[in-house]
Amino acid sequence: MIDLKIENLVQGGRGVGRTEGKAVFVPYTLPGEMIRCQVTRDKKKYSEAELVEVLEPSPQRQVPVCPVFTECGGCQWQHLSYPQQLTWKNQLFRESMFRAMSLDESLFEPIVASPGALNYRCRAQIKCRKTVDGFVAGFYRSGTHFVVDIDQCPLLAPDLNRLLARIKPLFARYQFAHRVPQLDLSVDDGARLSLTVHFMDDDHSSLKVLLAPVAEELHCSMYVRKSRKKGLMALFPGARQKIKPLADDAMELQYPPAGFVQVNLDQNRTLVADVLEQIPAGTKVMDLYCGIGNFSLPISRIASTVVGVEDYAPAIESARANCRDLGVENAEFVVADASYGLQSQWGEGFDLVLLDPPRAGAFDVVKQLGVLKPRKIVYVSCDPMTLSRDVQYLLANGYRAVLFRAYDMVE
């Protein structure tokens, strides 16, 4: 057990202090605080610790809205007011870029605040366990597979909290609850609900009986999944869920059950609109990691041609269906790994390449772009570290940075 003065914050919102010259990282702490902590991992150059007690709190500390904050691993910032969260997130994003590259301050625009800091999540993966004390459903404690039980989450859309409150008691008395490791909840822009039950058995008959009243009452489409390879089976199929990628626009995009869309739909609309501003009219665009066409289809309105590449076939099926529904004729969607798709679809070339990769980034793709040399690259990243790595490569291979802007997705 050590007492520590927190000096700064690092990525992920962890506080950092020093003892005997070694950095100690402690979640849920703030600069200026004196805290007591317990070291959980001791390395040669740094240690990780868990907070035991705040001895001298920062004036910026606030009471979290969630009763299981610090227990549940879903949030890192609720002990800080939202304006202060934005200040630190903006600073940390800039620092991650500056550490790796010599960049001019003028390249960085202010962080874009989320339209809402609570009740913004349109989907969630609820982890489940059948224990001696009953059925537990919630989120993993940080760094573990221990499920922290919740009845509701302040980040979830109200419709998802209502769905969780309705189904959790059913599973609590379900004889096969021990075969349910996860529940995927989703709500779209039209308040259409979807539930996917991960169920480790081939006989779904009892599950269908259990959930039938909720499916009818909440007009909720329901699916069951034994494994990712086996895909989904419909218990109670319903209308496909849809998102609106642009505010004040009639465009809607359908997506597959349990498919990927940004969890913060309002902020996604802001992001899509800002990306459109970076697309010159009449250009030929390749959208890598395109998903259901979240960027591709709005872009199709101003580009001459759009080719979207995505390795998840159900997402491409939805993208193609969206094309048909919207009457889009200048967009094509291809099922392929991004690296292979870039090579196979390049042909006579593209004016602009849009990247929206997962957290691992797109280094293999970026290396190809350094050779193919599209005139412009727009990179949407969910991880500053891999973004920094990939941008460094591009800058070393003839590109120049034009603009950086962070978008807060909260959590």
pLDDT tens readout for residues 324-383: 999 999 999 999 999 999 999 999 999 999 999 999 999 999 999 999 999 999 999 999
Cα–Cα distance measured from residue 48 to residue 40, given in angstroms and rounded to the nearest whole number: 6
Q: Quickly state the pLDDT bin for 228 (edges 50, 70, 90).
A: low
Global confidence as pTM? 0.94
Q: Which DSSP letter does residue 369 get?
A: H
Query: If you average pLDDT over every residue of the chain, what do you get?
Result: 95
The model's pLDDT over 293-308, given as tens digits with 9 standing for 90+, comes to 999 999 999 999 999 9
Task: Give 47's strand partners.
Answer: 24, 42
Per-residue pLDDT, averaged over 140-165, amounts to 96
What letter does residue 31 receive in the DSSP assignment?
A: T
* CA distances to 11, 104, 233 from 401, in Å: 22, 9, 46
**C-alpha to C-alpha distance for 53 and 36, rounded to whole angstroms:** 5
**Active-site residue, from 37, 75, 122, 382:** 382
Chain position carrying tokens 């907070």: 51
Q: What angle do CA 23, 24, 26 make, to 5 degrees?
A: 145
Region of residue 254 (left: phi > 0; alpha: psi -120 to 50; beta: else): beta
> What pLDDT was estimated at residue 229?
64
Which is nearest to 291 in space by CA: 272, 317, 270?
317
**Residue listed under structure tokens 């120049």:** 400
Residue 382 known to be catalytic? yes
Give the SS3 label for residue 291. Answer: coil
Q: How many residues does the chain have?
A: 411
